[in-house]
Chains A and B, each alone.
Chain A
Amino acid sequence: MSNQMVDLNRVGAKGAIAEAAEGKWGMVIDRDLCTGCQACVAACAMENNLSFVGEEDAGYGRTQHWIRIERLWEGEYPEVKMDGGFQPMLCQQCGHAPCEPVCPVFATPHSEAESINLQVYNRCIGTRYCANNCPYQVRSFNWRDYHIQPFHANLVNGQLVFPLHNQFNPDVTVRRRGVMEKCTFCIQRIHSAQDKAKSEGREVEDGEFTTACAQACPASAITFGRVDHEESLVSQLGQVSRGTKHLEELNTLPRVTYLEKG
């Protein structure tokens, strides 16, 4: 019976491309383990040259967090609880991403090679439609040139010197104002691992590299890897009964599986 039914995961909203529902790269986040410690947020910021925006802009909804830790409340004191615990929210690298088709200039296309959403910074013209259409609200916009505000500089011999720029990861573009950005699943790490494996004539092994957030997570709540390899840790974890996808009903085919407390 059941194998005759339509596999809804494999049929896109438009019945269109025949990409396997599980994609290539994926992530499992165990909400039961996440302690909300923000190490992933800091690691992501350090890896991906994110800009900090200062108190005023941060409070105004202009933070540049590619991953943020959400929490909602449930109940009243003293029976108050966090609803399901902390929920790290990042780009879900949807198989059918609502952000993609709405961009007029193809600045956020779907990578067929890596099966994730790309953000092409130098193509972006800043219509911000993708951010509106993202059901997970994980895109952040560069409202100003945060990195080069003179506030961050020292005046050395009459010249502005930005010591903080020393830290920039040369593998990641520093975004300037007017463009959208979002989590890339640390695509620079994916590429360098693939290049290395290719030069050694082999496949990338499971656990050979991971994203900055997963690497930092002290509780190991984040696992990253190949979801299309059945033996990989992320595939194994993704199949446990606690697994859910956020806003699954939208058929965005997210690549991030959350493990609930249960």
Chain B
Amino acid sequence: MAVTSNHLYGAQKAHETPHEEEHDPREQLMYDPLPRGVMNDMVMESMTTTSWKFWAVFGVLSVLVAVCFFYAWGFMISEGLYIAGVMRPSYWGVFLVNTVFWIGISHAGTFISAILRVFKAEFRRPFTRAAELMTTFGLIQAGASIFMHMGRVWLFYWMLPVPNERLLWPNFHSPLMWDLLAITTYVLGSTMYLFLPLIPDLAMARDRSTGWRKTFFKVLALGFRGTEGEWRHLTTAMNIFAFAIIPVMFSVHTIVSWDFAMAMRPGWSSSVFGPYFVVGALHSGMGAVAVVLVIMRATMKHMDYFIRKEHFDGLGKLMMIVSFAYAYFFFNDYIVQWYGGDKWTDLLLHWLEEGPMAWMFYLLILFNIVIPFLTLWNKKIRTTPWLLALIGTLINVGMYFERYLIVPVMLTINRMPFTWKLYFPRVEVFLTIGTFALFIWLYMLASRLIPLIPVWEVQEGQMVHTLRKVGKTQVPTVSEFE
């Protein structure tokens, strides 16, 4: 059974109203239900309908991943870190920028699927999975970037909590150890949290596919049938996850910020770094989700049914709120540094604002604060997909700049002026391209292999949303099932 045309879900067209203010509630996915079977088929078709353009992009990315990720990294391991641009005093460079950036991206998934789930923000339903995939794939890039950074990566396992032959364990005083444990917790937690709600959808896909896909889904669906017990265990676990992963998420980026804040350095040693990094992470994460959703909607079949203007609108509002919060923390961090008048911090601020990388500093303010402020209050802009994607991209560029300023540019300034040198990336450029390519590559691969829309959650949502007639109008209502 294939869905042949769009008329099935052209609700908004049928109910167009002359006045802009009066939106038909049926423009919203939750009030525009379709039979589950139809939705299943739409999702299945979105996975299997693949144009040559997809393969072209996928092919290019495969080459990029092979060359810029695996070959470049392998070359660096065999040759030594000298092919990177790191030196004294910028011992950390773009690798750490990438790590922070990708961990930031990964925060969006958890935010949407856990926080919005806990607070029952219903518009989240169709894109929780898309966001969670970003978490997992982003963390892969973050982890890879940390390993790229290490001088002797082949000995990485010395950081694992396993003793050596003299019963020497790793150093739990080190923020890097906290980081390792927190990121491990987060990777495992978010991957499990991605997988649990995926099981029913995998079972659905299992029931609707043949050949190797059938085997693939059968193995992954673990024999799920949807019995009362299975649902009960699953929903209980999902509830636990939703609550438990929120503090983990906050802890991860806080601890990442502590890698910097624990150091005795001007500019880094700041107690506001924790929340500042968390909000920065959400900022880039939201932007990235917006970009991904716009691309998904534009390139995958039937996605315009599941992903609608209301979602862009909601995301846009979230982005604006996060942008406010970001501005608050940015200013908080800045004014404390500025007011203190410490000699080194003072020099650091001069360096940031008047030095060769000052353009980055001003662009970060423009992209992260000014542009979101000026645009996102407008609903038209919020609901125009390409504009929202553009703003999301700019936010991510701005956030990348922010991390770049914090890592190598701030590292230039220390308490020994004789050593100050400005860092420029070398092989890091390729490896950065490599991580981006790998992220997109994984995402594209996933879009062919797993249902990006959690159909059962959408159906569940549609079941609890009804239109109630009150007087002469229909009022959207939500019932609490649980």
> CB within 8 Å of B: which residues of A?
57, 60-63, 68, 70-72, 89, 98, 101-106, 123-129, 131-133, 135-137, 139-145, 177-180, 247, 250
* B contact residues around A141 at 8 Å (CB): 81, 88, 91, 151
B247 beta carbon closer than 8 Å to chain A: no
* A contact residues around B171 at 8 Å (CB): 101, 103-106
Shortest CB distance B170–A (Å): 6
For window 246-295 of B, CB contacts with A under 8 Å fall at 259, 262-265
* A contact residues around B91 at 8 Å (CB): 128, 131-132, 141
A61/B419 contact (C-beta < 8 A), A98-B264, A104-B177, A126-B150 known: yes
B415 beta carbon closer than 8 Å to chain A: yes
* B contact residues around A101 at 8 Å (CB): 171, 173-174
A133/B265 contact (C-beta < 8 A), A61-B87, A177-B80, A247-B415 known: yes
Chain B 182-215 interface 0/1 with A at a Cβ cutoff of 8 Å (1 = within): 0000000000000000000000000000000000
Shortest CB distance A108–B (Å): 10
Report which residue of B79, B149, B264, B419 has the largest number of chain A beta carbons within 10 angstroms of its beta carbon.
Answer: B264
A104/B88 contact (C-beta < 8 A), A135-B414, A144-B81, A178-B81 known: no
Segment with Cβ contacts to A, from B11-19, B153-161, B452-460, B472-480:
B153-161
B324 beta carbon closer than 8 Å to chain A: no
Contact of A72 among B265, B414, B418 (CB under 8 A): B418
A137/B80 contact (C-beta < 8 A), A61-B421, A105-B171, A132-B265 known: no
In the A-B complex, the 10 residue pairs with the smallest Cβ-Cβ separation, listed nearest first, are A126-B151, A178-B151, A61-B87, A178-B152, A143-B82, A144-B80, A128-B91, A101-B173, A70-B418, A144-B82
Give 12 new A-B contacts, CB below 8 A, not counting A60-B87, A145-B80, A178-B151.
A61-B87, A104-B159, A104-B180, A124-B152, A126-B152, A126-B153, A128-B91, A128-B151, A129-B176, A137-B416, A177-B81, A179-B151
Shortest CB distance B277–A (Å): 17
Q: Is the CB of A140 within 8 A of B88?
A: yes
B92 beta carbon closer than 8 Å to chain A: yes
* A contact residues around B155 at 8 Å (CB): 125
Question: What CA separation (Å) do A131 and B149 show in the bound complex?
Answer: 14
* B contact residues around A70 at 8 Å (CB): 416, 418
B314 beta carbon closer than 8 Å to chain A: no
Q: How large is the interface on B (under 10, 10 to 19, 20 to 34, 35 or more residues)?
A: 35 or more
Contact of A105 among B86, B159, B419, B421 (CB under 8 A): B159
Chain B 409-436 interface 0/1 with A at a Cβ cutoff of 8 Å (1 = within): 0010011111101000000000000000
* A contact residues around B87 at 8 Å (CB): 60-62, 143
Shortest CB distance B87–A (Å): 4
B470 beta carbon closer than 8 Å to chain A: no
Q: Is the CB of A127 within 8 A of B416?
A: no
Question: What CA separation (Å) do A250 and B416 show in the bound complex?
Answer: 13
B interface secondary structure, majority: loop
Shortest CB distance B136–A (Å): 24
Shortest CB distance B342–A (Å): 10
* B contact residues around A129 at 8 Å (CB): 174-176, 259, 263
Question: What CA separation (Å) do A72 and B418 show in the bound complex?
Answer: 7
Q: Is the CB of A102 within 8 A of B414?
A: no
Q: Is the CB of A125 within 8 A of B158?
A: yes
Q: Is the CB of A125 within 8 A of B416?
A: no
Question: What CA separation (Å) do A116 and B88 show in the bound complex?
Answer: 23
B56 beta carbon closer than 8 Å to chain A: no
B89 beta carbon closer than 8 Å to chain A: yes
Q: Is the CB of B151 within 8 A of A124?
A: yes
* B contact residues around A106 at 8 Å (CB): 168, 170-171
* B contact residues around A63 at 8 Å (CB): 88
Q: Is the CB of A102 within 8 A of B176?
A: yes
Q: Is the CB of A128 within 8 A of B80?
A: no
Contact of A142 among B151, B153, B414 (CB under 8 A): B151
Closest to B85 in A: A60
Report which residue of B91, B92, B168 has the largest number of chain A beta carbons within 10 angstroms of its beta carbon.
Answer: B91
Shortest CB distance A246–B (Å): 9
Shortest CB distance A173–B (Å): 15
Q: Is the CB of A102 within 8 A of B80?
A: no
Question: What CA separation (Å) do A137 and B411 show in the bound complex?
Answer: 11
* B contact residues around A124 at 8 Å (CB): 151-152
Shortest CB distance B260–A (Å): 9
* A contact residues around B176 at 8 Å (CB): 102-104, 127, 129
A127/B81 contact (C-beta < 8 A), A104-B176, A132-B411, A137-B419 known: no
Q: Is the CB of B170 within 8 A of A104?
A: yes
Closest to B426 in A: A60
Contact of A143 among B81, B168, B175 (CB under 8 A): B81
For window 35-94 of B, CB contacts with A under 8 Å fall at 79-82, 86-92
Contact of A123 among B158, B177, B421 (CB under 8 A): B158
Question: What CA separation (Å) do A125 and B77 show in the bound complex?
Answer: 13
Q: Is the CB of B82 within 8 A of A62?
A: yes
Q: Is the CB of B175 within 8 A of A102?
A: yes
Q: Is the CB of B411 within 8 A of A126?
A: no
A128/B92 contact (C-beta < 8 A), A106-B170, A143-B81, A145-B80 known: yes
Question: What CA separation (Å) do A89 and B414 show in the bound complex?
Answer: 14
Shortest CB distance B122–A (Å): 43
Question: What CA separation (Å) do A89 and B415 show in the bound complex?
Answer: 12
Q: Is the CB of A178 within 8 A of B411?
A: no
A-B contact pairs, 5 of them (CB 8 A): A62-B82, A125-B156, A133-B263, A137-B419, A141-B91
Q: Is the CB of B88 within 8 A of A131?
A: yes
* A contact residues around B264 at 8 Å (CB): 98, 133, 135, 250
Contact of B263 among A57, A98, A137, A145 (CB under 8 A): A98
Question: What CA separation (Å) do A102 and B158 show in the bound complex?
Answer: 15
Closest to B407 in A: A132
* B contact residues around A177 at 8 Å (CB): 80-82, 151
Closest to B84 in A: A143
Chain B 338-368 interface 0/1 with A at a Cβ cutoff of 8 Å (1 = within): 0000000000000000000000000000000
* A contact residues around B88 at 8 Å (CB): 61-63, 131, 137, 139-141
Closest to A70 in B: B418
Report which residue of A71, A103, A125, A140 has the largest number of chain B beta carbons within 10 angstroms of its beta carbon.
Answer: A125
* A contact residues around B180 at 8 Å (CB): 104
Question: What CA separation (Å) do A210 and B101 show in the bound complex?
Answer: 48
Report which residue of A89, A127, A133 has the largest number of chain B beta carbons within 10 angstroms of its beta carbon.
Answer: A127
Closest to A13 in B: B264
A127/B150 contact (C-beta < 8 A), A61-B419, A105-B170 known: yes
* B contact residues around A128 at 8 Å (CB): 86, 91-92, 149, 151
Shortest CB distance A62–B (Å): 5
